[in-house]
């Protein structure tokens, strides 16, 4: 079953944003995925140059054309490369808050965004906004970090899934496997053993073989004839975020799929701070998956008592 039925894409017209949109389209399936493209206009912002959006001067809601003009431009810039259901929307306000509200409103399974815009609306997809969305979202978040030079669009061929093999990581594991199956990608599991922080004389010896046995059991459980490639399992040791990024480079990873919270004695691996650290420096897109949480429906799109939930 395709894991994502309703996707929200946060757009700011930057090159990073365009690349993120291509990634969103690669995860969308005709007649199965609904993709909403949202552009947030900050009320106080005024376009100063034709380069602000990379498209020439674009009016805000207070000037001629307003939101309708933006929607037309969104339709031109963010056009899918295969038949999928796409809707274009604009809102005004704080970028992170509007993205989170829209995600809840449409019941999004996945939010896709860049981590740094390069336009006059740079705050929309700046790292701080991506972090706020990551912390407050009730669904999975896929973010692409900007690079000094645009990267060539490519298919997702290798997926890296950092895991602590706990009960709490099962939901993330299912998403990683489903993506590997649906995209015909190789799935590589990674477990990072932390370096002991206690004095050597009192530390419990680490038995790498015990971790390898657990990972092999997980690998065998996941493997199956519906996957294009056999699942691989790897073991690392050290700082979780550093090891995840190092392994991603080593295996030529195209997508990292990870959670935000572990439930074992090694819960440092999938804590929110690790996910944020990986996202901030990763050379490939990072998808952060959270345990499903349903937000009570309301008649108002912007309830006054709306609360953000932060997961660490």
- 213: domain CATH number is 3.40.50.620
Judgement on whether residues 109 and 191 belong to the same structural domain of the protein: no
Q: What is the pLDDT of residues 234-289, one digit of tens each?
A: 999 888 899 999 999 999 999 999 987 544 434 434 445 788 888 888 889 999 98
Q: What is the pLDDT of residues 212-223, one digit of tens each?
A: 888 899 899 999
Judgement on whether residues 179 and 282 belong to the same structural domain of the protein: yes
Half-sphere exposure of 67 (CA within 13 A, CB side): 11
Q: Given 144, 178, 213, which residue is the final one in a domain?
A: 144
Confidence of residue 155 (pLDDT cuts 50, 70, 90): confident
Q: Which residue has the higher pLDDT, 171 or 107?
A: 107
Is 274 contained in some domain?
A: yes
Is 305 contained in some domain?
A: no
Q: What is the total count of domains within the chain?
A: 2
Q: Which of 195, 188, 187 is nearest to 242 (CA)?
A: 195
Judgement on whether residues 140 and 11 belong to the same structural domain of the protein: yes
Q: How many CB atoms lie within 10 A of CB 15?
A: 17
Does position 54 have pLDDT exceeding 80, yes or no? Answer: no
* Helix (H/G/I), strand (E/B), else coil: 96: helix
Is 297 contained in some domain?
A: no
Judgement on whether residues 21 and 128 belong to the same structural domain of the protein: yes
The pTM assigned to this predicted structure is: 0.78
Judgement on whether residues 129 and 199 belong to the same structural domain of the protein: no
pLDDT at residue 166, rounded to an integer: 64
Q: Given 144, 166, 186, which residue is the final one in a domain?
A: 144
The span from the CA of 258 to the CA of 175, in Å, is 9
Judgement on whether residues 70 and 122 belong to the same structural domain of the protein: yes
* Helix (H/G/I), strand (E/B), else coil: 143: strand
Does position 295 have pLDDT exceeding 70, yes or no? Answer: no
Judgement on whether residues 272 and 184 belong to the same structural domain of the protein: yes
Q: What is the pLDDT of residues 55-68, one digit of tens each?
A: 444 444 444 457 88
Q: Given 85, 117, 144, which residue is the final one in a domain?
A: 144
Does position 190 have pLDDT exceeding 60, yes or no? Answer: yes
pLDDT at residue 8, rounded to an integer: 97
Judgement on whether residues 103 and 205 belong to the same structural domain of the protein: no
Tokens of 266: 């090694």
Residue 190 φ then ψ, to 5°? -135, 130
Domain that holds residue 65: 6-144
Judgement on whether residues 196 and 83 belong to the same structural domain of the protein: no
Mode of pairing for the β-strands spanning 158-162 and 255-259: parallel
Judgement on whether residues 90 and 182 belong to the same structural domain of the protein: no
Judgement on whether residues 94 and 172 belong to the same structural domain of the protein: no
Half-sphere exposure of 255 (CA within 13 A, CB side): 30
Pair 189, 231: CB distance under 8 Å: yes
CA 50 to the chain's CA centroid = 30
Which of 6-10, 50-54, 92-96 has the lowest average pLDDT?
50-54
The residue behind tokens 């990763």 is 282
Q: Which residue has the higher pLDDT, 187 or 293?
A: 187
Is residue 182 exposed (0-12), middle (13-18) or buried (19+ Cβ within 10 Å)?
middle
The span from the CA of 284 to the CA of 151, in Å, is 10
What one-character DSSP code corresponds to residue 285? -
């Amino acid at each position: 079953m395709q894991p994502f039925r309703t996707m929200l894409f946060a757009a700011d017209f930057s090159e990073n944003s365009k690349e993120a949109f291509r990634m969103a389209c690669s995860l969308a399936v005709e007649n199965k995925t609904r993709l909403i493209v949202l552009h947030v206009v900050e009320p106080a912002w005024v376009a100063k140059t034709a380069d602000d959006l990379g498209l020439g001067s674009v009016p805000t809601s207070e000037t001629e054309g307003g939101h309708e003009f933006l929607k037309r431009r969104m339709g031109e810039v963010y056009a899918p490369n295969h038949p999928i259901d796409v809707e274009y929307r604009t809102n005004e306000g704080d970028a992170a808050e509007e993205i989170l509200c829209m995600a809840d409103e449409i019941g999004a399974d996945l939010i896709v965004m860049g981590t740094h815009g390069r336009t006059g609306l740079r705050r929309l997809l700046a790292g701080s906004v991506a972090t706020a969305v990551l912390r407050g979202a009730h669904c999975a978040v896929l973010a692409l970090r900007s690079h000094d030079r645009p990267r060539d669009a490519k298919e997702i061929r290798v997926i890296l899934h950092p895991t602590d093999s706990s009960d709490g990581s099962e939901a993330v594991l299912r998403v990683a496997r489903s993506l590997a199956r649906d995209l015909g990608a190789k799935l590589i599991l990674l477990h990072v053993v932390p370096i002991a922080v206690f004095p050597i004389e009192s530390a419990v010896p680490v038995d790498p073989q015990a971790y390898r046995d657990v990972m092999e059991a997980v690998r065998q459980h996941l493997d199956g004839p519906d996957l294009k490639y056999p699942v691989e399992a790897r073991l690392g040791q050290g700082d979780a975020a550093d090891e995840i990024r190092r392994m991603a480079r080593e295996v030529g990873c195209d997508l990292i799929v990870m959670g935000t919270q572990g439930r074992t004695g090694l819960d440092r691996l999938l804590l929110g701070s690790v996910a944020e650290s990986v996202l901030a420096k990763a050379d490939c897109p990072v998808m952060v998956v959270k345990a499903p949480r349903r937000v009570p429906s309301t008649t108002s799109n912007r309830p006054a008592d709306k609360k953000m939930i932060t997961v660490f």
